[in-house]
Amino acid sequence: MIDPVLDLIQKRNLSYNISGRDYLIKCLNPEHPDSNPSLRIDKVTGSFHCFACHFKGNIFKYFGVFTNQTPIKVAKLKEKMAVIKSSGTGLDLPKGAQPYTKSFRGISSKTLRGFEAFYTNSEEKLVDRLCFPIKDITGKTVVYVARHVLSDGNPRYVNYPSGVVMPLFPASAPRSVKSVVLVEGIFDMLNLHDKGLNNAICCFGTNTLHKDTKQKLLPFRAQGVTHIFIMFDGDEAGKKAAETLKPLIEEDGFVVEIISLPDGTDPGELGEEDVRSIAEYVRK
Ligand SMILES: [Zn+2]
């Protein structure tokens, strides 16, 4: 097993203790006489931090060791994968779930099937609802979004279970796509996919903190997405949210463009022709 951090500690004859995810050694700061070891070194990355004097750094840099960072990155990734593996595939289907085979409010049954929609009428909170499994970046189902089948059903949406941090949906982009179109609602996203725009993703409203959305978009960058088109609802809240989010995402190196919709229009209402022209525009 490759362990460059421990290798270096041993080569330098530093005495160490293991403390959770860290190695604990006496502080490396010459100005800090450290009788109790108070410097923590991350086992994987070699980053260190003294909790007494706040001396910070990385032991590879500190000792002038030029390492190939790849094994460290791979080790880190493997560690993450192990956590993911041990956490399984996510939620079980609610009881009484059955496949939804019809179209719904202009969204074809094919598109709904593609997003694994199902109908449930049995659990108390899920009476007469069309549900979608929402998966995180690892493919694990973390929550179901359940929309009342009746347009005046109250509440219109239920997150089941409640209180889960919502991923973007879908949480990753189709292969080799260079841009994504970010919309507010799940039915905005579904409508765009249904009409041929397969790189639309939704952020479940603009009430979630923008810095969360920023964070959730980063993996798209790693997948090769360079452009983000923000297409929020054509109302004051949507416009304001788009303006706030744009500079935040730009900090991560994305090219960001806002697509403004006419007042009172949201992407869930766009017809085939409108979606086609948007698709042509974002693929230019
Ligand atoms: Zn110190």
**Please, are residues 231 and 181 in contact by the beta-carbon 8 Å criterion?**
yes
- Average pLDDT on 28-36 reads 92
Q: Which residues surround ligand 1, an ion (CB under 5 A)?
A: 27, 29, 32, 50, 52-53, 55
Interval 167-213: pLDDT, tens: 999 998 888 899 999 999 999 999 999 999 999 999 998 877 777 88
Identify the pLDDT of residue 222. 79
Tell me how many degrees the CA angle 213-239-183 measures, rounded to the nearest 5: 45
CA 58 to centroid of ligand 1, rounded, Å: 14
**Please, are residues 256 and 228 in contact by the beta-carbon 8 Å criterion?**
yes
Is 243's pLDDT higher than 80? yes
Under the banding of pLDDT at 50, 70 and 90, the label for residue 3 is confident
CA 67 to centroid of ligand 1, rounded, Å: 24
Residue 35, classified by CB atoms within 10 Å of its CB into exposed (0-12), middle (13-18) or buried (19+), is exposed
- Enter the pTM of the model: 0.69
Interval 222-232: pLDDT, tens: 788 999 999 99
CA 11 to centroid of ligand 1, rounded, Å: 21
CA 196 to centroid of ligand 1, rounded, Å: 58
CA 62 to centroid of ligand 1, rounded, Å: 14
Helices (H), the chain: 4-11, 59-62, 70-86, 109-114, 186-194, 210-222, 236-250, 272-282
Residue with the bigger pLDDT between 127 and 76: it is 127
Under the banding of pLDDT at 50, 70 and 90, the label for residue 139 is confident
CA 2 to centroid of ligand 1, rounded, Å: 28
CA 192 to centroid of ligand 1, rounded, Å: 55
Identify the pLDDT of residue 70. 58
Interval 58-117: pLDDT, tens: 898 888 876 666 566 666 656 665 555 555 678 888 888 999 999 999 999 999 999 999
Is 145's pLDDT higher than 80? yes
Under the banding of pLDDT at 50, 70 and 90, the label for residue 153 is confident
